[in-house]
Amino acid sequence: MHRVKLHRQILTLIKKDISLEYKSLESLAGMVLFLLATVYTCFLTFKKMPTAEVWNALFWIIIIFSGFNAISGSFKNETGGKHFYLYFLINPKALILAKIIYNSFLMLTLSIIGLAVFALFLGTNVLEDINFLSFFIGLVLTSLGLSGILTIISAIASQLDFKGGIIAVLGLPLLFPLILISQKYSAQALSGVSASGNMNFLLGLLTLNVAVITLSYVLFPYLWRQ
Amino acid sequence: MAKNWWKIVGAILVIYATAFSFLRPLEPGIIQTDKTELVLGQNTFSVTGYNSHFVDYSSSLQGFLRVDSLRALPLTILDIKDNVHAEFSVNIPADIDKTVLDLFLSNDRTGSIFLPAAFRIDQSKGNPAASNEYTNVAFSSGEEISFEFPFQLRIFDTIRNLNFHVPMWFTMFVLMGLSLWYSIRYLNSDKIEYDLKAASSAKVALIFCSLGLITGSIWARFAWGDWWTTDAKLNGAAVSFLLLAAYFILRKSAEDKPNKAKIAAVYNILSFFMTMALIMVLPRLTGAASLHPGEDGNPAFSSYDLDSNLRMVFYPACAGWIITGIWIYNLHYRISNLKNTRS
């Protein structure tokens, strides 16, 4: 059955997801529009950002909910007949890794767009001291962790009938550790601390990502074998 | 009977711990004084004690303000109103070289009781009279009382809550560990009894989590002034509650699915490790200050966390509540197993 090597399977699956996304661009456009709409809501209510702390908190809350919006439908193409087709064709471990990698790139794209939209509407006065490299590293690692947790949660939710509300209930508490670290890390980056000066949180983010991806990797095959 | 001995042990331990927690008195101590600032020269102030037996042992009552480890200023007793209220006067000399003084009182029953940093001296006010002789700092020990809880400023009688609040969390951790263990076993064996066991232990863990939250919240209101505070341990409590509750929502909404038990087991394992990440790893990583004892910034407990009297009740309380939790889990599992086989 699984004769093709794991990394070839992963690459093929990522390519499949990208071409599917490209074919129906409206879902990607929907995610970006959601981001725009939420940031504009913030602009309407806040006008200008009072402090960097408020900016940071709002930014991460919006990124989390964009993540839910983007990743919750992650397994919508792997149900019913397609599930059986893929079941005999690929290794579930390749599928979960491919989904996590694809979703983390999606999350990273969304958070970069989010950063740009934030700067556009809410002003750049809190970004004056930012250490951009350090902030970007935090963005990459948080995208990876977010997609690691949300992908396995969307795999769980894809097997339920009532998907809408439950994914937030299941996913949000699991995100607490990740959000706590990345919010603290990026608060430091916003005030100009470099990545090497912020090693404590950086290592925490890395460890958490490794733990999350290992757990997803080990647990997903049990969900896949219906 | 022979195989149920552990239930009897658990019940006895819980009854013993509960009875001792409520029935034994606190050690004597000083709660507060009506003034916190003294001027040079003659001062009068009144003291509120706790279990301090001012009237019962009035003949041996004496006190002093400690200046440093050797010198003290003697107090004169003006009036003893009742067992816990008394008025004193003190003469502060002009040549005093300390601004913060500790208050010490003693009688034959209580021994030395004290209020640290009771007074600040305002050296710009007052008119010092004739020079005052310093006396020596001397401590005395009172009567030996068989069992008293330690007296701690700020928390006073609520120290008894330690024997309820903390065992709730220990029991929750044991039951969460049990739930994790059965979820893993279910994934490896596909036996439905393990799924039922995981669900039962998670449900009892949720009950103990709620009890821990309620007892903690009431205690926090008394000791720290708020029902909820920013604290690493409270984040852990919140996330355990939310994840356990979400586990049951997941079970309920997957009820008619063929692989319901598998979904639940996967989520349970995931949530256990995330809870552990939040409770064990994060506080060490971020160095977040905690109000809980053993951490920084908590004068109420940090000097001596548990004294030997407290330990004699605290450890049995923990053991007793853990055994009781496992007992409740056992009953719950048997009921759900019966329901499952009947349907």
Beta-carbon separation of A208 and B277 below 8 A: yes
For residues B86 and B74, give the distance between their C-alpha atoms in angstroms, rounded to a whole number.
Answer: 15
Mean pLDDT for all residues in chain B: 86
B91: β partners: B42
Distance from CA of B318 to the nearest CA of A (A): 28
Question: Residue type at A124?
Answer: T
Chain-centroid distance of CA A109 in Å reads 10
Two tokens at B76?
Answer: 């004169």
DSSP, res B25: P
Which one of A156, A185, A198, A199 makes the best mutation probe of the B interface by having the most chain B beta carbons within 10 Å?
A156
- The CATH number of B29-136 is 2.60.40.10
- Facing B258 at nearest CB: one of A174, A208, A226: A226
User: Of A97, A105, A107, which is closest to residue A63 (Cα–Cα)?
Assistant: A107
Residues of chain B positioned with their CB less than 8 A from the CB of A201: 285-286
Assign B304 a pLDDT band (cuts: 50, 70, 90). very low
Q: Which residues of A touch B (CB under 8 A)?
A: 149, 152, 156, 159-162, 166, 169-170, 172-174, 176-177, 180-181, 184, 200-201, 203-204, 207-208, 211, 215, 219, 222-223, 226
Distance from CA of A198 to the nearest CA of B (A): 11
Residues of chain A positioned with their CB less than 8 A from the CB of B278: 176-177, 180
Query: pLDDT tens for residues B53-81?
Result: 888 888 888 888 888 888 888 888 898 88
Beta-carbon separation of B246 and A223 below 8 A: no
For residue A213, the chain B residue with the least C-alpha distance is B270
Strands B111-126 and B100-107: antiparallel
Please determine, for residue A194, whether its predicted confidence score (pLDDT) is greater than 60: yes
Residue with tokens 């599917």: A20
Assign B305 a pLDDT band (cuts: 50, 70, 90). low
Decide which of B120 and B310 is more confident: B120
Q: Which residues of B touch A (CB under 8 A)?
A: 187, 235, 238-239, 242-243, 246, 249-250, 253-254, 257-259, 262-263, 265-267, 269-271, 273-274, 277-278, 281-282, 285-286
- Could you give the residue ranges of the DSSP H alpha helices within chain B? 5-23, 162-189, 192-223, 232-253, 260-276, 282-286, 308-342
What pLDDT score was predicted for residue A140? Answer: 94
User: Of B87, B66, B200, which is closest to residue B136 (Cα–Cα)?
Assistant: B66
What pLDDT score was predicted for residue B130? Answer: 62
Stretch B27-50: mean pLDDT: 88
Residues of chain B positioned with their CB less than 8 A from the CB of A176: 235, 238-239, 274, 278
Distance from CA of A175 to the nearest CA of B (A): 8
- Facing B286 at nearest CB: one of A172, A184, A207: A184
Query: pLDDT tens for residues B30-39?
Result: 988 998 888 8
Please determine, for residue B303, whether its predicted confidence score (pLDDT) is greater than 60: no
ipTM: 0.91
Stretch A27-35: mean pLDDT: 91
Residues of chain A positioned with their CB less than 8 A from the CB of B233: none
Beta-carbon separation of B282 and A207 below 8 A: no
For residues A56 and A183, give the distance between their C-alpha atoms in angstroms, rounded to a whole number.
Answer: 7
For residue B255, the chain A residue with the least C-alpha distance is A160
Query: pLDDT tens for residues B266-297?
Result: 999 999 999 988 887 777 776 656 677 755 44
DSSP, res B106: E
> How many CA atoms are closer than 13 Å to the CA of B145, on its beta-carbon side?
17
Distance from CA of A157 to the nearest CA of B (A): 9
B276 Cβ partners below 8 Å, 6+ apart? none
Residues of chain A positioned with their CB less than 8 A from the CB of B262: 222-223
Beta-carbon separation of B243 and A201 below 8 A: no
Residues of chain B positioned with their CB less than 8 A from the CB of A161: 253
Please determine, for residue B250, whether its predicted confidence score (pLDDT) is greater than 50: yes
Question: Residue type at B73?
Answer: L
| Structural contact between residues A180 and B281, judged by C-beta atoms closer than 8 angstroms | no
Q: Which of A41-55, A184-198, B123-137 has the lowest mean pLDDT?
A: B123-137
What pLDDT score was predicted for residue B330? Answer: 95
What pLDDT score was predicted for residue B289? Answer: 61
Beta-carbon separation of A177 and B277 below 8 A: yes
Distance from CA of B254 to the nearest CA of A (A): 6
What pLDDT score was predicted for residue A164? Answer: 67
**Burial track A182-218 (b if 16+ CB lie within 10 A, e otherwise):** bbbbbbbbbeebebeebebbbebbeebbebbbebbbe
Assign A208 a pLDDT band (cuts: 50, 70, 90). very high
Stretch A175-203: mean pLDDT: 88
For residues B106 and B104, give the distance between their C-alpha atoms in angstroms, rounded to a whole number.
Answer: 7
Please determine, for residue A191, whether its predicted confidence score (pLDDT) is greater than 90: no
Which one of B184, B253, B268, B278 makes the best mutation probe of the A interface by having the most chain A beta carbons within 10 Å?
B253
Beta-carbon separation of B282 and A180 below 8 A: yes
For residues B33 and B84, give the distance between their C-alpha atoms in angstroms, rounded to a whole number.
Answer: 11
For residues B273 and B263, give the distance between their C-alpha atoms in angstroms, rounded to a whole number.
Answer: 16
